[in-house]
Chain A
Amino acid sequence: MSEKKILIIDDDQHLLLGLATRLQANGYAVVSATDAISAIAVARTEAPDLVILDLGLPAGDGFLVFERMRGLTDLMATPVIVLSARDPAKNKKRALDAGAVAFFQKPPNNREFLTAIRQALGETTALSTFLKT
């Protein structure tokens, strides 16, 4: 089975590098986009298995990216995990309502974050999650 591809959409280059290193070490291919407009283009050409999305982006809000993705047949079903510095009290519900599978506030805990990624990619079953905890 070929490695799964994750698209990170975030405007912070260092964060991209740090997170990509972690994800690659866990066996994922990583592509990135740094603004709302290129994000859609990259998503269409790369067809990632999962998108990690920041909410505060140049050239548009993260929610805008969400809307556009949902409007495109090829990206409609791609799971999205939101990773944002914004206050979860205000944004978590909105993100989940918009269709995100999880919301993490920066900085996330590595272990929890990776668990969520695995879950979103369907690599883990309910039972295994249950047994782990």
Chain B
Amino acid sequence: MISEASGRVDACQYLSPAVPIPCFHGRTLVDESASMELSPRLRDDLLNLDAWSEILTTYGRTMRVAVALTDPEGHVLGKCHNAQPAWRLIHDAGHGWGTGCPFCIATSPPCTAVAEAMQTGGTVMVRDQAGLTHVAVPLLLGKRRLGAIIAGQVFDRYPEPLPLRRVAKEYGVSAQQLWDVARKQRPVSRAILQASGDLLCALGHAFLQQRYGAILEANLAEANRRFRFLVEGTRDCALFTVDSTGHVTSWNVGAERMLGYGEAEIVGHNFSCIFTPDDIENRVPEKQLSKALQTGRAEDDGWRVTGNQKQFWANVNITALLEDAGPVRGFAIIVRDVTERRKIAIILDEARWDRTRLQEKFLSHVSHELRTPLTAIYFFTTNVLDGLLGDLTPGQREHLTFALDNVKQLKDMVSDLLDITRVETHKLNVEPQHTSPVKLIAEALSTCRTNAAAKNISLRSDVRPDLPFVWADPARVRQILINLIDNGIKFTPEGGTITVESRPIVEGEGFLCLSVSDTGCGISPANREAIFDRLAQVKSRAEASRSGLGLGLFIARELVSRHAGRIWVESQLGRGSTFCFTLPVFSLAKLCAHVFTASNLAKGFVILIAVDVVPIEGVVQADILPEIRRVLERCIHAGQDVLLPSMSDADPVETFFIVACTDPSGFTVIASRIGRELQNFDSASRLKPVVSSTTLLVPPGQSTKEQTGGVTAGIERLVRAHLLGKERLK
């Protein structure tokens, strides 16, 4: 045995020489395979024995060495080509492949040539105990280890009798026979062995690469075939491509069927022929392509025309075919005929609308029919309760009071029902005006007082008296508050408290936030959205009370959103809930924005005109006030003057204010026009209009905003002073 590298192994191993053996990693192979997982099937394909057999046989014969393919663990795949006589003699004697290196005539320790070649990626040369030498070269695909090729079974110098004799003894063959065979085997020098190992490495990789390319090509062809089959076989969809100018480059069977043009007849023509004449005139085809170019894709639903001039409703998807950062190659277009779907959608829509209308009609009818008997019950109950039919015992009085409460509840439910139908048919209207939230809160609390007292619940109001006015429908805000307070009463145990508060404004300066807190059972986080849904009554809460249809919060939410506000609930289970909602704050500046322009303000003054409509006798019926308002609106110059909303919640609502940017002569014109128009309106002369004016100097300011601020503050002051003066007069 020759021991050149001392110690570690019996079978000496020549590691690669100092000059590293070039490793033939095909460039494309590295790049592609690095990003690709090798499937077992691909591996088997790459190491296909029949394919390798030819190249290995040729190599073995040419180089006069034995050669074999192995897996990464060094097990021979298939057979050993061109096995050499000395090795074959020992092998045929029953040595078998064994566990170690199949080319080594040595039992222990095993040769690690293959493993080492796999690890270093280069050629490894080994000489065994008999003096036979072989090389192992790795087969790598990128970084993946596919296996190795072993070549050799040759002496690198003239054989020596002594090791051969030892080996012959060990393997039980005739020493003489082995010597004879070995002597006839021509030695190959180490340099040539090294060179042929490198050649083998190059050959192996070239072959592997070629094989890999062939497999990819086959796969690609298969995928291509499938894709063509798919595209051409799609009959319900028109699939076609156009070039960057919109000329058709391919056309599938589906397109032929749907659009009525054959492939031969349309390829090369502009795809605009499938658009309606109007669309073509409006350059819709070009616009769609340019949109697809900008955003990558464009989708559109619209009418398209077939070759037979039949129109259909199409869903069209255009995808730009772009190469990385390159110019557009064209567009892929998918057209689907969705005429039927559209028809069904329209029918469904109509049916839904019909159903809603029918529902509204039904509910409106029901509510109407319920109101008449309810009225009779109300009259009888109140008549008896008020003693119109004789005195009552305390017991009778108590029971009738309960009956009356129930009548009121029923009445509210009937109103709720109607509101619901209005929500559904979008008829729930709010008529916003200049409204004091303080007054509405007081009114709502007084309405709910009876209900609260019945459960010994105290109602508190903790609002600043100087809350800003809101731009809201007073009746609706009252309804929101009552709904929230009633809801609180329902779910608060006896002895609890309900508090109405105002909160610091949350959403900029434009909104006021009001809240209604109770000390009730609270709402779990999961239900905090659901309680605002229609007919929502959370199970555990439902036990608290049977009253109500569960519509209160739903209606409150709808009403708040009609005011452009927001409603939400904050709650702690067992501690209580706080319902908050926001309302837009009334802003004189916003209302007058189009009057207080820089050029108007430059005139230097603003005139506030007060119109007091005084009745000759009695009071002005509230119902004719809107009429008067309409008359006054006719008297002012729209866009130049503003008729302010009712600025007071106190009784003298029959005062109207007009803000105008004009000089005193302009005032005279307006005043005389108002006098004339009101006289025409009130031909019976039951009203006496008193028109007065105050001129407000515009403060010099750096900006229009500052000036507007000064003017609006001035107007508010004047309005308050005027109303106060009138009240004093009364």
Contact = CB atoms under 8 A, between A and B. Distances in A.
B375 A106 contact: yes
Given A21-B383, A22-B382, A89-B429, A133 B376 contact: no
Given A25-B383, A89-B429, A107-B407, A126 B619 contact: yes
Contact of B379 (A15, A87, A122): A15
Given A14-B380, A21-B389, A125 B618 contact: yes
A101 interface: yes
A71 interface: no
A22 B623 CA distance: 26
A76 interface: no
Given A22-B382, A22-B388, A107-B407, A129 B375 contact: no
Given A25-B383, A107-B411, A12 B372 contact: yes
B364 A107 contact: no
A72 interface: no
> Which interface residue of B372, B375, B427, B619 has the most chain A CB atoms within 10 A?
B375
A104 B388 CA distance: 23
A18 B617 CA distance: 33
A19 interface: yes
Contact of B372 (A17, A25, A106): A106
B413 to A, nearest CB: 13
A14 B376 contact: yes
B368 to A, nearest CB: 5
A22 B379 contact: yes
B376 A15 contact: yes
B730 interface: yes
A126 B618 contact: yes
Contact of A19 (B379, B615, B617): B379
Contacts of B380: 14, 17-18
B418 interface: yes
A14 B388 CA distance: 16
Contacts of A86: 368
A105 B376 CA distance: 13
A28 to B, nearest CB: 13
Given A85-B372, A105-B371, A21 B379 contact: yes
A12 B376 contact: yes
A18 B378 CA distance: 8
Interface string B608-621: 00000001011101
Kindly state the interface size class of chain B when it binds its partner: 20 to 34
Interface in A89-114: 89, 96, 101-102, 105-108, 110
A21 B376 contact: no
Contacts of A22: 379, 382-383, 388
A110 B619 contact: no
Nearest to B624: A96
A25 B388 contact: yes
Contacts of B386: 25, 110
B77 interface: no
Contacts of B379: 15, 17-19, 21-22, 107
A94 to B, nearest CB: 12
Contact of A126 (B388, B418, B615): B615
B374 interface: yes
A101 B371 CA distance: 22
A129 B621 CA distance: 11
B196 to A, nearest CB: 103
Given A12-B376, A107-B411, A18 B371 contact: no
> Which interface residue of A56, A85, A122 has the most chain B CB atoms within 10 A?
A85
Nearest to A133: B651
Contact of B730 (A102, A130, A133): A130
Contacts of B364: 87
A122 B618 CA distance: 8
Given A14-B376, A107-B407, A85 B418 contact: no
Contacts of B618: 119, 122, 125-126
B375 A85 contact: yes
Interface string A49-73: 0000000100000000000000000
Contacts of A14: 373, 376, 380
Contacts of A15: 372, 375-376, 379
Interface in B356-399: 364, 367-369, 371-376, 378-380, 382-383, 386, 388-389
26 contacts: A12-B373, A12-B375, A15-B376, A17-B376, A17-B380, A18-B378, A18-B383, A21-B383, A21-B389, A22-B382, A22-B383, A25-B386, A85-B369, A85-B371, A85-B372, A89-B427, A89-B429, A101-B621, A106-B372, A107-B375, A107-B411, A110-B386, A129-B619, A130-B619, A130-B730, A133-B651
Interface of A: 12, 14-15, 17-19, 21-22, 25, 56, 85-87, 89, 96, 101-102, 105-108, 110, 119, 122, 125-126, 129-130, 133
Given A89-B429, A126-B619, 13 more contacts: A15-B376, A15-B379, A18-B383, A21-B379, A85-B369, A96-B623, A101-B621, A106-B371, A106-B375, A107-B375, A108-B375, A126-B618, A133-B651
The 7 A-B residue pairs with the shortest CB-CB distance, nearest first, are A18-B379, A126-B619, A85-B371, A14-B376, A107-B375, A107-B378, A106-B375
